[in-house]
Amino acid sequence: MAELRSRRSNLAVPGSNPRFLEKAKGLPADQVFLDLEDACAPLAKPGARKNIVAALNEGGWGEKIRTVRVNDWTTEWTYRDVIEVVEGAGADLDCIMLPKVVDASQVAALDLLLTQIEKANGLEVGRIGIEAQIETAQGLINVNDIAFASPRIETIIFGPADFMASINMKSLVVGALHPDYPGDPFHYILMQILMAARARGVQAIDGPFLQVRDVDAFREVAKRSAVLGFDGKWVLHPGQIDAANEIYAPSQEDYDHAELILDAYDWYTSEAGGKKGSAMLGDEMIDEASRKMALVIAGKGRAAGMSRSSAFTPPEG
């Protein structure tokens, strides 16, 4: 698996709006996805492709992951989206996001098209990743196959609005709990996506919360997928970015503790530490399972650019 890249906040930017494309460069989102799908009216899509190519080539994105969401394979726009964007700005592009994925063949088709474009244009074959968006009942049923459909897969994403329509869910509030349901109606869906992503060794991303001015409600929704282990969430408004960056990163206390576990376990299993398989770190027993859990938290903290505020000191004697 490639080194973890932080995707706590995934900012949607309409490709048809040059002003928004320029503004997005200066926002603190981990990833931006420049949208050719739902954010663009049909008549605006050809112009949006050109806007996106120009914005990518101009640079100024810093360390952000740069993704373009193309239209889904059932439309007449997909192949031209991919060809124009990758031929025009492939060297400045990290991923293509494919919406409404229903089976592995759709991912394989995108992989093949990307490979042809890369070969024809002298680009490194396989460098551009694929982000697969699960937005239908059929896509969820096939999510395991989708996750393993291509070595390019980097994320599996939940698309709640189309998914709610797909299963005839009785709600118009996207991504929120429903007062008539005694629990989280999205829990099963999120766990299926998370299991597929983790089995494949890639990241799981939660979808958007459409009440963009209600940041407190966004935080509550985001916490539910973050506690399950999701790596990040879509943000539709700059006001949601800071909340996502905070919620999908470890707390400073948890990050420090994870790093201490890793250092302590490394020392205790060494010759100097007595070659112990388990040991005490304060009042806590640590072992190989502790190390694996600590690696997850430490990895997320490192990817988010966090710094330690404590250090492990081996016991004397």
Q: Residues annotated as binding site for Mg(2+)?
A: 135, 162
Closest CA to 154 of 188, 127, 115, 185: 127
Distant-in-sequence, close-in-space partners of 165: CB < 8 Å, separation ≥ 6: none
- Please report where in the chains the tokens 């008549």 appear, as a residue: 43
Which amino acid type is present at position 193? I
Annotated binding site for substrate: 69, 135
Q: How far apart are the C-alpha atoms of 277 and 104, rounded to whole Å?
A: 42
The residue among 93, 97, 144, 147 whose CA lies nearest residue 118 is 93
Q: Identify the residue whose tokens are 């990817």.
A: 303
Cβ-contact 207, 221 below 8 angstroms: no
Which residue numbers belong to the known binding site? 69, 135, 162
Q: Which residue has the tokens 């349901």?
A: 181
Dihedral of CA atoms 287, 291, 297, 301 in degrees, nearest 10, equals 130
Helix (H/G/I), strand (E/B), else coil: 14: strand
